[in-house]
A and B are shown apart, each in its own frame.
Chain A
Amino acid sequence: MADSVRPSPAKVALRTVQGSGPGTATSIDAPLVRAARRGDRDAFRRLHDRYARMVHAILVARVPFGEAADLAQDVFVLALARLDGLREDAAFGGWLAMIARNRAADFHRGKRETAELDEEAHAAPPRPTAEAAEVLAAIAALPEAYRETLLMRLLEGMSGPEIAAQTGLTPDSVRVNLHRGMKLLREKLDPAGDGEAP
């Protein structure tokens, strides 16, 4: 095993749990997916808690903010119903992301089928402030790959390694998306470039 640059134990901890390499976050999913497939509600809840931010960010990147939370709930109900069709349990994150993107596309096509949700699930999402709405609009105008990644980072508070682990993108790709996306976002928010990026 290449061992030329070994990070400190703390760094290792971050990289491994949140990384996308073999036997890491994705393999942690597999037992949860199997359990959820057997009807284990707690496992389903844990998968939801793990991936909800990613799903929400993907949806916010594609639909009006006020619709995204409801659609995110739909995505998880759909995912549970289709879990038997997932061939590779460890690929759950990428598979779920695809369902989220398809759900957003369905939304725009007018297919608004929703699952029955409980009272809490129907709670209205928070309303963005004018300034936050401006930022969301600026992000919405970015290329798709940057939109999703930036929303996961800035809106949902996910770290780069976490985004890579959940989406299946390579850490390098995520890093590039973040860097370029943030550069474009700075330019959109401050076109005059006052004190901002070159």
Chain B
Amino acid sequence: MSTPDDRRPGDRDDYLWDGSGTPDPEVQRLEGLLRPLRYQRAAPAAPARRSRAWRAPLAIAAALLVAAAGAFLAWRALGGAGGGGGGTDGTAAPGSALPAGLAAAGAPRSWAVTLLAGAPSWSGAGAGGARLERLAVGAWLETDSATRANIEVADIGHVELEPNTRVRLVETRPDEHRLALARGTIHAAVSAPPRLFLVDTPSATAVDLGCEYSLAVDPVSGIGRLEVTRGQVELDAGPGRPPAFVPAGMACETRPGRGPGTPARPGASAAFRTALAALDFEGGGDAELVVALAEADSADALSVWHLLAHVAPAARARVYDRLADFYAPPAGVTREATLALEPAALARWRDKLLRFLPGTFCVPGTVCGAPL
């Protein structure tokens, strides 16, 4: 029988390092013992800060806000919004950050770009000339193998571009900020109401639900991979295809023509993840479902929840029973309603499961309360 030490040390270390590689039974045992003791508390209701240094900027910010609002109204009155959209460049008060020439001409809506290494190439309207520092709506930004860049997403967060990444600013307005990722890898950190920041990929749209995540698109296959490190992201492939809800600590693949698969923990068993991939993308059937359900544990309950909508109706009861092995149904949710994939029932299940996952949080009436 194989023991942990029969394996090469690197293999065992990989699991200890980041949950990849062959699971180390002893590490898994200790994780299981200690998991119930994890810190679960919400942030303390902190007292108001007393620092003078805090009050002064607040007063200045308030004054600037008033001034910016006035400038904005004046700018709108002069027809400065340009074509379409909501009439803001999405980064700062109008005219505050754009190059003077662009602002005077009625600047296109744009996001600030900071180079972290190398020099990117640009294309499209409003790129800003030789000293390119803003990405306008409709323009592409591409990094080569030696370039990294940071894009400020209006005033709600930022996106870092890895080398060999190509993105386009699709839209920026108060109710939507949208980027297209054609290839490469981005890392997004957004602090905003849910569904305000979106990233289109060749096979699905990543809808921010208040989070930090990485999104990679393979330049050849167009296959996307989402890994969420904070909060939640929804992967949406359009009508007729169930979206994937990916909370912190989980990853999800999405493929052109198929849409998102089943999110899974990188630390889930290899057999479980392999079975999910087969079910999602390779025409897997009953054999793979048996493996997936047998390999799942309570930490994989959200993955199992996704399977309800992914498997054939005849197999759905088995998925439900496995889910019910881990958690009792939410109050008022019946087995029948769940098997019928009634949106309210599925949403109640999802909300319950999310509450058991560390690193996620629910915004009442928005994230967890959102209908499927």
Contacts and interface: CB of A to CB of B under 8 A. Distances in A.
Interface of A: 1, 3, 6, 9-10, 12-14, 16-18, 22-24, 27-28, 31-32, 35, 37-39, 41-46, 48-50, 52-53, 55-56, 65, 68-69, 72-73, 76-77, 80-81, 83-84, 115-118, 120-121, 123, 125-126, 128-129, 131-132, 135-136, 153-157, 159-162, 175, 178-179, 182, 185-186, 195-198
B361 to A, nearest CB: 7
Interface of B: 3-5, 13, 16-19, 26-27, 30-31, 33-39, 41-51, 53-54, 57-58, 61, 116-118, 145-146, 148, 150, 157-158, 160, 162-163, 184-185, 187, 189, 191, 212-218, 225, 227, 229-230, 249, 251, 358-359, 361
A12 B216 contact: yes
Contact of A10 (B17, B49, B216, B359): B216
B16 A16 contact: no
5 contacts: A13-B215, A38-B54, A118-B44, A155-B38, A182-B27
Contacts of B30: 135, 154, 185
B187 A24 contact: yes
A42 B193 CA distance: 11
Contacts of B163: 1, 3
A179 B46 CA distance: 38
Nearest to B218: A9
Contact of B43 (A31, A76, A131): A76
B185 A9 contact: yes
B160 A182 contact: no
Contacts of A56: 38-39
Q: Is the interface of A mostly helix, strand, loop or mixed?
A: helix
B34 A155 contact: yes
B61 A159 contact: no
Nearest to B9: A179
Contacts of B212: 17, 28
Contact of A159 (B19, B44, B48, B49): B19
Contacts of A35: 191
B34 A154 contact: yes
Given A12-B162, A52-B43, A125-B37, 12 more contacts: A9-B217, A18-B229, A38-B54, A46-B191, A76-B43, A81-B50, A132-B33, A155-B35, A159-B17, A159-B18, A160-B17, A178-B16
Q: Which of B216, B229, B230 is the most central at the interface, judged by chain A CB atoms within 10 Å of its CB?
A: B229
Contact of A83 (B49, B61, B187): B49
Contact of B160 (A24, A31, A117): A24
